[in-house]
A and B are shown apart, each in its own frame.
Chain A
């Protein structure tokens, strides 16, 4: 797998909106914009600035807040530039000055010589740090493309998998017609965020929300159905494997046991649904989504049903003691 480096320039060009936006601009050290970010983490270089470089996390993005900037000014007034030279002798990806603080001139000069990018943002240090961690963990999340269709049904992200021609796209089209949303057809890029969430999105933004229907060709779902019918990204909460009805196979008829599939080590609920001409697949998928939502709220329909049956049987047995005339006790 080709590992493309994520550079500081890529960080500046990330398309982040609203509460995710980093508001970064480069104020110095442009030659170093090709430096790569290797870890999705930030560091406040307080200890390093005071002269302690043991275990200095230089691979992280260095964040300079009010304290650090004031200390740099003090160093400049004292004419103490050794520490700054030492700082830049490490191959840091970049330095970010938050709250629109200006780095002192000598600091900028040394950074230009060292080709280390100096960036500035108007955000507060803690806000910037948490936004950067979020953005970086998305970039560094393990990714993989899978063949299938991802739809958002009643708020549940359902990934339809199965062989070509089994009817995934057609089922998704019917779901869109019923008001649900298409995330991606055919190629879904899955990424694991925070080690416990699987996000799915279209692998290619140019052909996203296009669907191939045999006999019809390639259709543009967003044009046909509008903005309310599509979604750019959704968490994968349920995997439905569609297969041709196999009379020899045993399909789940009760639903008390939950099967799982492992994606990036995360267990996602799995349903195996047999497909047969005449079977209304979209309605089964809608019911599956609603059932999944009930499970999230703690209502397990099949288990409740079984509990009620058990209670009913017990009541029957309890009554039999009085009415049965059995002398075995």
Chain B
């Protein structure tokens, strides 16, 4: 299992568009991709799940990937968070 702590760098937080990009990125990989925020654990492959986290600006979420391509998935999602979901 690969675990990483990621910070939300967008001013608007994770709203519908970034959630969709996260879900699409996660779906490219075979492994299980999970995001944890406080006491909510969501499957990153589902948009509704990611939106439910209500992660705003500067929130830290925990990423967990488990499976064959876990390292690539973790890498891709880390890059995604860093690039502010291609918004700013």
Contact = CB atoms under 8 A, between A and B. Distances in A.
Contact of B48 (A1, A2, A212): A212
Interface stretch (A6-14, A110-118, A202-210, A266-274): A202-210
Given A147-B49, A187-B49, A207-B51, A2 B43 contact: no
A203 B52 contact: yes
Interface in A127-173: 144-145, 147, 163-165
Contact of A207 (B38, B40, B52): B52
B27 A210 contact: no
A207 B45 CA distance: 17
A218 B16 contact: yes
B48 A185 contact: yes
Contacts of B45: 163-165
A140 to B, nearest CB: 15
Interface of A is mostly: strand
B39 A210 contact: no
Nearest to B26: A164
Residue from A144, A185, A204, A210 whose CB has the most chain B CB atoms within 10 Å:
A204
Counting chain A residues whose Cβ lies within 8 A of the other chain, the interface size class is 10 to 19
Interface residues of B, number: 16
B21 to A, nearest CB: 14
A235 interface: no
Contact of B43 (A147, A207, A210): A147
Interface string A193-219: 000000000011001001110000010
A222 to B, nearest CB: 14
A163 B66 CA distance: 14
B48 A187 contact: yes
A218 B48 contact: yes
A164 B27 contact: yes
A211 B42 contact: no
Residue from A145, A185, A187, A203 whose CB has the most chain B CB atoms within 10 Å:
A187
7 contacts: A147-B46, A147-B49, A164-B46, A165-B45, A186-B48, A212-B46, A212-B47
Interface of B: 16, 27, 38-43, 45-49, 51-52, 54
Interface of A: 1-2, 144-145, 147, 163-165, 185-187, 203-204, 207, 210-212, 218
